[in-house]
Amino acid sequence: MKLSEKKIQKKKEDIILSAVKIVNEKGYQKATMEEIAAELLMTKGSLYYYFKNKEDLIFQCHEMVLVQAIEELQQHINVKQSNEEKLREMIKTHIQYAIEKKEMFNMIIKPDQTFSEDQLNPILLKRNEYAGLFDQVILAGIKTAEFTIDEPKIARMILLGSMNWIQQWYNPFGSKTIEELQQIYADYMLKVLK
């Protein structure tokens, strides 16, 4: 029982990973079920054993990434440290995701052109949950006078927007390592908040 359920879960994850990869190379529309399957040496028919349809598959891609990312952010928040320190860590995490799992994050950015009403809502909710973690730390930082801004919501959007943009230009063979980028971004972002 447990074994076979785990097996099926593992397979689903494999498919999701493949889907994420293809979708990001080609975009949602051009990513065909055939290609997603081929990546795993399966045939497209098999995908429908695990997922109801293409939309469902892509939907679960979203879920997976966001749940993972939220968990990781939460850990930074739970650590006893200043809000500035917390935010630094969160920024680093976000950048890491945005670059290394670029594929996944891309899908989160424009769900409205991809999903039907039914599935759009849960995604937006999770997205808000994610963003809310940043809000939470920013607001806490304002209370402790670590940050001094009037528009915390907009500041958060600047944060996320600028970081999401990284994948547009980041080149692993460029002159900056990821660690350097994380450092610089954290510094510059904190300039906005202070």
Using CB under 7 A as the criterion, which residues of the chain lie in contact with DNA when the complex forms?
Answer: 4, 7-8, 11, 30-34, 37, 41-46, 48-50, 52-55
What minimum distance in Å lies between the beta carbon of 162 and its own copies? 4
67: contact with its own copies by CB under 8 A: no
6 binds, among its own copies, DNA, none (CB under 5 to 8 A by kind): none
DSSP helix/strand/coil, 40: coil
> What is the residue-wise DSSP string for 143-180?
HTTS---S-HHHHHHHHHHHHHHHHHH--TTSSS-HHH
44 binds, among DNA, its own copies, none (CB under 5 to 8 A by kind): DNA
Closest CB to its own copies among residues 10, 26:
26
State the CB neighbour count (10 A cutoff) for residue 167. Answer: 19
185 binds, among DNA, its own copies, none (CB under 5 to 8 A by kind): its own copies
Closest CB to its own copies among residues 4, 78:
4
Q: Are 177 and 154 in contact (CB under 8 A)?
A: no
